Structure 1
Amino acid sequence: METAIQALRPGYLKEGTPVQVLSNFFLFTPKHHSTSLQRYSISFIPEISFSLSRQRERILNKSRAQIIEHIGRFVFANTILFSAQTSSEFVVESLYENVIYKITIVPTGALTNPLEIKHFYNKFFNSVQSMLKLVMIGRKFYNPDRPVELPHHKMVIWPGYANSVGYYEEGCLLNVDISHRCLRTITVYDQIVDIKRRNPSDCKQMISKLLVGSTVLTLYNKKCYKVDEIDWDMSPSSSFEKEGISTDFKKYYTTRWGREIKYEDQPLLKCKLKNLICYLLPEFCVMTGLTDEIRSDFNVMKDLAQATKKEPKARLNESAGLIKTLQTFPKTRDEIKDWQLEISSDPISLTARVISAGNIIMGDNASFRINEAIGSFDRDIQRKMYTQPKLDRWGIFHCENDKKLVEQNLMTNLVQVMKTYCVACDKPATFIVASDKWGDWDRILRQSLNPSVKIIICVLPGSKGKCRLYDDLKRLTFSSFPVPTQVILNSTLKKDKGLRSVINKVVMQMNAKVGGIPWALDNLPFSNTVCMVIGIDIFTKRGSSGVLGFCATMDPHYARYGSFPKVINPGGDVFTRIQECTEQALQQFFNENRRFPKVIIVFRDGVSDSQRSSVLTDEVGAIKQAFTSLQGIVPNFEKPSLLYVVVNKRTNARFYCDNNGNTTNPPLGTIVDSKVVEKTGYDFYVMPAKANQGSMTPTHFHVVYDDSDLPCDNVEILAYKMCYSYYNWSGSIRVPAPCQYAHKLAYNYGERSDKNGPPQPHAHWTNSRALYFL
């Protein structure tokens, strides 16, 4: 397989209007360039596993004063120490829990590698923050002394910070953003008791659903653990061995933490920490984070948003406020001074550029300009769509109880909306299902569906997130009867307010599902050449097979898609699947255009920073291998140029405009590709979606591979403009549409997993040009 080389920045964006912005990045530099950092390896006798980093740190702290005599102040990083002083090898002893440990510290040279220096700075900054008595949860720090109480929801919010140090064009920078952590004010034991009271028959299943995979915080030491399993056979009276001595949990918590256990009737929470297993007591834990149940509660989310979504000025001030605190608090100020470091309190200022989103093209060549001030165009698209096939064989399925709702609410609005959008359609056939049991629905659907049916509307009983029949319906039509389905819940039809707007969106989705194009974008980059844009995402679910979502454009407007879902069995080869999808997409592109693309742009979602190198070597290699395979099959096949772009929505970078002291969000279409980007890479930030509340969150793009020799304007503008072509939303979203389609495709199959895994995609869908999974 050909080795892919990391892309380098070919220049800077030239198009657009310049705008000055502030960022939440701050200079983080040594005061004296001659300052060198030293590295020391560390070993313990008796030996302590690398996975027990907290225990290693506790033992080391017992001998901190002895170590400082040799090398001065130091930063501990599990297997190594960092210091600004040189020393020869030395040994210290530490007494911990009646065991004497011999600690050998050996110098291994000065830090010269930028990655090692970056690693030190991040460890150093973490250690400095811990001096402020902030609690580390994951990689973020939170302040339990400034809680925001939400008593009606039995929750509390801890404010905090997300920080990282890295090397950028501007130099070594500290990125500081604010963060919030939601915790329950009732214990996990209280939640278990409540579930048992409400669901006595299947309480164990409900408790497991709530807790397994969640994160809990222990009240006695403020540490976080991920729950892997609930051990129903264990209780506080269960015994275990610690350092060869048998004890039980009641004694352990009394002697180690001074806690008396009140309840005997509680199972234990099992957590796997690398090669170590620990057990937690529910009465000493509280859940953190948000569950699906909380996210679906409008009132809870509204109150959470008011507490956490800070306006731009407040957010930037809080970021800068952490640095001011570090510079004024005596202990942290002295630590920073002793290490001869300097942290600027002024945020980095830079010049960004604002790109116009351009025009939307509708049917009969009508068009309108996107209003970037509001970021959406609900009203503008209420006209004939760009392309819309005739609906000549379609139907509506509903329960007997919903007959009146369908006739009066659904059909009345459907007729009006079809006229507004000028949709040519026959009258739909209607099918009444005797009950809301899946057996009745399954029987009627199997009797009625055949490949000539364009689409069906299913009015299902239930409310959002609580529809029992939805998963069964999707499994059936994804794998056995490949007919597009549009689901409308009967609870939606019961609402008079906003129903017309809902039906507008339904008709638009239906058009996309049957192969139509609701709207197209004008003047897209690469339109002067033959180009294909691909979106890739992978859905994974605990205990089930993964699903690869692969969507590729087949037309000059990047509006018609070939969709290629692939189930990936546990331990399966993702890269082989990517190669297969690429070959299929290229063959279909040729079948429809009688030529192959000259340029391919891939937008890859769901990749963390640590995974980018494997994407470059493996996934880029898989696509290039597809090119090689086609060369052996297709005469005169020319390899297209390839740009492989990783899309990251989870970024702590923020950008602000300062208008005479009034800090605001930047305009939509603001692109940042200088100063706070990688020094040797090729990355940029785009502000693609409006923030209705609080501060705007940018999307971070990394071009990991580029052999096109094209200026960066092409891919940066394309990344922004394609955020306007996702047909589930009449406006801009945070990622390019192919990315979101790939995510939706993989999610729809993966989330429908049962004991047999995800539904196997029907062969018909591979040859379909419709976004049937929306």
Structure 2
Amino acid sequence: TKIDGTSGKIQKIERFHPKRFFPRLMRDLAGHTRLSPDRRIVRLEQINDRLKKCKDSADIFRFWKTELDRRLVEVRGRVLPPEMILLHPVETKARTPAGDKADWQAAFRDKPMYLTVALKHWAIVVPARETRTIGNFLNCLYQVSRKMTFMINQPHFVEIGNDSPNVYVETLEQLCNRDPQLIMCVVTDDKADRYAAIKKKCCVNRAIPTQVIKSRTITPRHGNMLLSVATKVAIQLNSKLGGIPWVVKVLMESVMCVGFDVCRDTKDKNKCYGALVAAMNHGKHRQHSEFYSTVNQHSYGADLSDSLGLNIVKALRSFQGAFENNLPERIIIYRDGVGDGELKYVHEHEVGAVREQVDRIYKAYEKKPKLAFIVVSKRINTRFFDAKGNPKPGTVVDDVITLPERNDFYLVSQSARQGTVSPTSYNVLYNGSELGADQLQVHSYKQTHMYYNWTGTVQVPAVCQYANKLAALVGQFLHQPPHTRLERKLHFL
């Protein structure tokens, strides 16, 4: 290609389409970066050998009077038993073991969801050229939802001529006046401005759950791929309406689990949003949770202790509203997004502020709160290997490599399909819950099964994952807290 007005040697220019090649490049790159356990061990041993043979590095080790061990550190661990996934409040047949892979996607081929909310009044906004695509997908959605005992009525269709953000916003404004339970928006690509406009209109202005789905995702493909997509969408829809896809057996009759995470505003770097999500359980024979969420805006680098304490109070008031003015016997807080350099600050300020607020609430009812505050870290360099490769989900390590001055443990909750599995670090900054270390470990593992956007375990307790998802939605797209009428729904899934 020659550019007008230039002279000299002509060079051939190759046009590059990032969207077309990026997924393939990432898959190829993953083959080199996501090493299997045996390959990673070999690499580590090679690095160790090179450091010992290099004169400069040997001099540094000698100066600091340190030495690298010849072998990897061997530690004792234990594997928690696989959880039983309950898919019905009463039927014993409607349950399935999570198994060694901690994945129960296949169970929904012929089993129900634990608790469903009928989707009677809803709407779909779809570009005219994608009408046939959404029709085929809805047939699959009806097919899978019947087996899951999830009733879905015919939606109200609205075809739009173009997919600009303004057209979606105008259409949504009209649909919101019909007071639907949920609105599904079919989009042709993942443009951020369109997604933000849809979510802002429904999450901030009108308090209606939405499901945004790309046409490519619901386009018929080989095998049963579309049925699998329909199953995942059905689970999401039910969750956003207030339904419960599955549960695991809760160890405590009355407990509130809280996840807290922070996300920086992508438009204004001086703003941050702290998101809190609480899973609330109360009652001897009640296994499923009620949910509460709230978001606070604060300045980047500001003290979070006051807002966290006040948000815990809001969650306790919501617990009382859900369970006849009762307070939870125990509160377990999982705090995400904390670096090692911030642990002292969190311990001295946030834990103290939370305890002060909780004590004040319980004192009015002449009760003593049982509280635990745990910092969760997933971005760590520690890796575990066993004789056969990756450790199984449920592997706990709480000795040798943990710090004596801390009450901490490592938990492997996921099964890695590719590469080496990453454990999650749990640092118990405060434990007044009257639960032992073993009980906190089991409860934390149970919580990793409860994220309704994935039919398997996740790397952190579900309430942390929910808080992360909510904080990201606000920080990246809404740039303001959602409508308060959505506080009791998982609208951000």
5 Å-filtered alignment, 1:459-498, equals 459-462=186-189, 465-466=190-191, 468-497=193-222, 498=225
Partner of 1:15: none
Partner of 2:492: 773
How far apart in 2 are the matches of 1:505 and 1:428? 19
2:121 to 393, 412, 424: 393
Shift of the 336–435 alpha-carbon distance from structure 1 to 2, 3 Å rule, reads closer
Name the TM-score, length of structure 1 as normaliser: 0.58
Residues 618-645 of structure 1: CA distance to partner in whole angstroms, max 9, x if unpaired? 221221232244257xx42424111111
2:454 to 725, 729, 732: 729
**Structure 1 ranges of 4+ moved more than 4 A:** 293-296, 337-340, 569-573
Note the C-alpha offset of 1:721. Answer: 1.8
2:87 to 362, 371, 385: 362
2:327 to 596, 609, 619: 596
2:315 aligned with 1:585, yes or no?
A: yes
- Residue type at the aligned position of 2:279: T
- Residue type at the aligned position of 2:444: A
1:552 to 278, 294, 304: 278
5 Å-filtered alignment, 1:649-728, equals 649-658=378-387, 664-728=389-453
Note the C-alpha offset of 1:451. Answer: 8.2
Partner of 1:268: none
Counterpart contact for 1:630–1:637, Cα < 8 Å: no
Note the C-alpha offset of 1:459. Answer: 1.0
Partner of 2:376: 647
Gaps of 5+ in 2: 1-12
Note the C-alpha offset of 1:705. Answer: 1.1
- Residue type at the aligned position of 2:257: V
Counterpart contact for 1:355–1:670, Cα < 8 Å: yes
1:509 to 236, 246, 249: 236
Residues 495-544 of structure 1: CA distance to partner in whole angstroms, max 9, x if unpaired? 4231221111001000000000000002x33x1x4211000001113534
How far apart in 1 are the matches of 2:160 and 2:397? 55
Counterpart contact for 1:605–1:647, Cα < 8 Å: yes
- Residue type at the aligned position of 2:411: V
Note the C-alpha offset of 1:699. Answer: 0.8
How far apart in 1 are the matches of 2:49 and 2:103? 39
Partner of 2:482: 761
Partner of 2:361: 630
- Residue type at the aligned position of 2:306: T
SS at match of 1:418: helix
1:535 to 259, 265, 268: 259
Note the C-alpha offset of 1:444. Answer: 1.9
1:575 to 301, 305, 324: 305
Partner of 2:34: 309
- Residue type at the aligned position of 1:763: T
How far apart in 2 are the matches of 1:377 and 1:631? 39
- Residue type at the aligned position of 1:618: H
Shift of the 340–475 alpha-carbon distance from structure 1 to 2, 3 Å rule, reads closer
CA-based RMSD: 2.5
- Residue type at the aligned position of 2:255: C
Shift of the 308–572 alpha-carbon distance from structure 1 to 2, 3 Å rule, reads closer
Name the TM-score, length of structure 2 as normaliser: 0.89
Bigger share in strand: 1
Shift of the 535–451 alpha-carbon distance from structure 1 to 2, 3 Å rule, reads farther
Residues 467-512 of structure 1: CA distance to partner in whole angstroms, max 9, x if unpaired? 6521110111111011000111112232423122111100100000
5 Å-filtered alignment, 1:31-46, equals none
How far apart in 2 are the matches of 1:322 and 1:515? 51
How far apart in 2 are the matches of 1:667 and 1:442? 47
Partner of 1:445: 172
Gaps of 5+ in 1: 1-193, 200-292
Note the C-alpha offset of 1:296. Answer: 8.9
Note the C-alpha offset of 1:411. Answer: 2.1
Partner of 2:4: none
Bigger share in helix: 2
Note the C-alpha offset of 1:700. Answer: 0.9
How far apart in 1 are the matches of 2:203 and 2:134? 25
- Residue type at the aligned position of 1:511: N
Relative CO higher for 1 or 2, CA cutoff 8 Å, sep ≥ 6?
A: 2
Residues 43-84 of structure 1: CA distance to partner in whole angstroms, max 9, x if unpaired? xxxxxxxxxxxxxxxxxxxxxxxxxxxxxxxxxxxxxxxxxx
Counterpart contact for 1:362–1:520, Cα < 8 Å: yes
Q: Percent identity?
A: 28
Counterpart contact for 1:372–1:668, Cα < 8 Å: no
SS at match of 1:469: helix
How far apart in 1 are the matches of 2:21 and 2:258? 32
How far apart in 2 are the matches of 1:295 and 1:368? 42
How far apart in 2 are the matches of 1:637 and 1:505? 45
Note the C-alpha offset of 1:295. Answer: 12
Partner of 1:616: 347
How far apart in 1 are the matches of 2:117 and 2:248? 19
Note the C-alpha offset of 1:294. Answer: 8.3
Shift of the 717–471 alpha-carbon distance from structure 1 to 2, 3 Å rule, reads same
How far apart in 2 are the matches of 1:571 and 1:309? 34
